[in-house]
Copies of this chain bind each other. A is one copy, B any other.
Amino acid sequence: MIRNRPAVTRISDAVAGGLEKRILEGSLKPGDRLPSERDFSAELGVSRPTLREAIQKLISKGLLDTRHGGGTFVTDRLDAHFVDPWQEMLSGHPLLHSDLLEFRQMLESHAASLAAERATNVDIERLDTLYANLDSVYASNDVKACIDADVAFHQAIAEAAHNVLIGHMTASLMRVIHGHVSINLEHLHARPQRWNQLRSQHHAIWQAIREHQPETAARAARSHIEFVRQSMTDATKEVERRLSALRRQGEL
């Protein structure tokens, strides 16, 4: 008489809860499309009716939306309430980038601190694999892969903090920043010394979280973003310098 059932008696409830958590934490972003019901149910290890019950619940909560023959999507209403205004603001006003990085510094240092406190073994295993991946792609020359790995790493830290707002905010910020990161990474990639500093910073954050040292983790994250801020302004200055040079050439 073994009860292998989880605490939630209804499997559909467990599925719905898991999905809701992933949506709120941001790992399932608004607009994302879920796998087909057949694939997803197999992936989750439940039957299709059960998956459907979970989906229907989340639909009634306004978190999901289905299109017959099209697929199932994450509603973008969360964005409408929280982030959309930012996208608009930031796209039109590059001046806000420093504000954004300042905010990110606060957010990620806090996230790192909480992650160091609360990270479960599962979280740490996930961080381990993501860090290993991050370190390996940094050794390559694929800047695009570096961005993806970097985003995934920081997102995992945010989720290890076990605060849905921090998870969601981090995901939002990542999406907003994404485009600007590439410029910065290109800039850094041309400077091997700084490039290696970046790697050691990630290592420091990773280690501090692994060893459950909140203060150290917070400091490491803070100085990491500080470093990014600095090189970001450097990159911007260089771009402007080149632009003015080009402009001079064009005017000659």
Q: Is the CB of B89 within 8 A of A85?
A: no
- Dominant SS among interface residues on chain A: helix
Chain A 60-74, CB-CB to B under 8 Å as 1, else 0, gives 111000001000000
Contacts of A85 in B (CB 8 A): 62, 77, 81, 168
Interface string of A164-187 (1 = CB under 8 A from B): 111011001000000000000000
With A9-B68, A68-B9 known as contacts, the answer to whether A103 contacts B166 (CB < 8 A) is yes
- A130 lies within 8 A of chain B by Cβ: no
Q: Is A216 an interface residue (CB 8 A)?
A: no
Point out the residues of chain B lying under 8 angstroms from A9, CB to CB. 68
Interchain nearest-CB distance for A65 vs B (Å): 12
CB-defined contacts of A12 to chain B, threshold 8 Å = 56
A96 to chain B: closest CB distance in Å?
Answer: 6
Tell whether A224 is near chain B: CB-to-CB under 8 Å: no
User: With an 8 A cutoff between CB atoms, is A132 at the interface?
Assistant: no
Given A82-B172, A106-B110, A164-B52 contact (CB < 8 Å) = no
Closest Cβ of chain B to A37, distance in Å, is 12
Residues of B within 8 Å of A165, CB to CB, are: 86, 96, 99-100, 102-103
Interface positions of A from 183 to 233, Cβ below 8 Å from B: none
A35 close to B (CB within 8 Å): no
A residues 94-130 in Cβ contact with B at 8 Å: 95-96, 99-100, 102-103, 106-107, 110
Which 3 pairs from chain A and chain B are nearest by CB? A103-B165, A57-B60, A99-B163
